[in-house]
Amino acid sequence: MDDLIPFGSRLYGELLLVLFVARGMDFLSTWIATPNMVLEGNPVAKKLGWKWGIPVNLALCFGFAFWPLPAIVISTTSVLVAARNFQSAWLMRSLGEQLYRSWHIERIQETNITLYLFCLFSQTILIGAVGLGVILATNGGQQDQPIALAIGLGIIAYALAVTFFTLLGVMRLRRADKREATRNLVTEPLTR
């Protein structure tokens, strides 16, 4: 599982197909949810946009298909991200990207930050625990079960990605709130 796979071999083709399907589902779910990338949580993906995101991901698929463990980790993580996107994509699309974004921000602002973070960490710890369980069930990823190890690592990578990008979005939102509050304080006339 650590060895590189020869280009054009059957295993290379299978890993390439799995990567194409997994990354394709991530792209499809993102496009359905946010065709203008307004709601994209990954700043790198948002910066690349559709024009550069597709060729960069195709190149990554061709590159990672040489290396089975990362190919399976990436595929597992991508499928879980796609599933998460599809969960709310219908709402995002029916409300529209800007209205959904405003609605979502209002809900976060109206929620106690401690409760929000508790729920986020509870969700991602539980998901990560499933990945850890898969890894432990493989005897720590012994040579006889490398695919299960890679799937477990992919589940953990998904949990970490959700935590990271959600916290990044919340921190950006809180900084914007502070800037807005400061701006309002400076521009409001003093009253007695």
Each residue of 43-70: pLDDT tens digit?
899 999 999 999 999 999 999 999 999 9
Nearest partner of 97 among 142, 19, 31, judged by Cα: 31
pLDDT band per the 50, 70, 90 thresholds, residue 41: confident
Higher-confidence position of 185 and 88: 88
- Of 8-12, 102-106, 108-112, 159-163, which one has max mean pLDDT? 159-163
- Of 119-123, 133-137, 170-174, which one has max mean pLDDT? 119-123
Q: 148-172 burial by CB neighbour count: b if 16+ within 10 A, else e?
A: bbbbbbbbbbbbebbbebbeebeee
